[in-house]
Amino acid sequence: MQLIRPTNQSKAGQTGTRQPKMSRSPGRMMKNFGTFLALFLTFSALTEGKLIKIEENNWQDLLTGEWMVEFFAPWCPACRGLQPTWEDFAGWSEDLEIGIGQVDVTTSPGLSGRFMVTALPTIFHVKDGVFRQYRGARDKDSFISFVEDKKWTGVEPISSWKSPDSIQMSLVSYFFKLSMVLRNVHTTLTEDYQMPYWVSYVAFAVATILLGGILGLILVCCIDCVYPPRRDDELHHHVQQVTRGDKKDSDVEEDDDVEELDGSQDEGEEDQDTQDENLSQDEGDNSQDEGNSQNEASQNSQDEGSQEEENPRAENKSRRRRARKAD
């Protein structure tokens, strides 16, 4: 028993001396893990800080300074393929002295309408409020060269009427927001409440008709306020003036008709006089023609009589010649 105790004590002593070594190794591991986690979080925070998320409430920051902005959607395969390259490019934001941002069109549909984004991903370069669409290669070196070599100066800027900060594009952004709201309502009705599609379409049609009627009523009220209707006294006075003007016009027309009738009667009388004169002239001409015809007839009768008298004489002469020849 005495021999066993030292061995137990030695084991206990050995285990006692080893206990601090075993307790130190987990502590060191925890310290190392904590240091690594802190470094990772710091690095990720720095990386996320360079890639700025652009939303409805901070998009006006793009109007100052120089920016490169990407419009993407989480469901877009091309956007997912470009995401690592865009994050690497964001690490150069401090060296290039520009801001690099991203716009999620699913959470900010108004910005997609304001910038008229029709394809994804779409990249814009912004310099002091002047927007240009990037259409080059989509790799980090091309992005860096586009900014560093100022290749954006050779790109035509977006026209003023399509500028994102214009009034008309603000209205377009509201329409995009409304379309997203309607889409969410349609999704809720068909997926959450399991309603048929035609029920959603009918609901939208009824809402459109009601909204159109309300807007029409508001427009009529606005027109009445700007151009109020005339009073009854003014209307009555206007009607009297119009009737007086009509009477004057009718009197003038009657006078004109009377003058036209008088003129037509005078013309008729003149026509009759000219017809009578023509008839008398025709009669005189006819009488002259008849006299001439009578004279011609008398002359013809005289000629015939002279011819008849000459014929017997000619016959007598011919007879006498024949008798002489016979002798």
* Total Cβ atoms within 10 A of residue 109: 21
Which pair of structure tokens corresponds to residue 119? 């394809």
Which pair of structure tokens corresponds to residue 206? 């009824």
Contact 83/140 with Cβ under 8 angstroms?
no
Exposure string of 241-266, with b = 16+ CB inside 10 Å and e = fewer, is: eeeeeeeeeeeeeeeeeeeeeeeeee
The rounded distance, in Å, linking the Cα atoms of 223 and 89 is 55
What residues act catalytically?
76, 79
Write the DSSP symbol of residue 136: S
Residues 6 or more apart whose CB falls under 8 angstroms from that of 121 comprise 70, 71, 72, 76, 78, 79, 82, 138
Contact 72/83 with Cβ under 8 angstroms?
yes
Contact 85/138 with Cβ under 8 angstroms?
yes
Length of the chain: 327
The rounded distance, in Å, linking the Cα atoms of 96 and 144 is 8
Contact 121/72 with Cβ under 8 angstroms?
yes
The rounded distance, in Å, linking the Cα atoms of 284 and 96 is 122
To which H or E segment does residue 72 belong?
strand 66-72
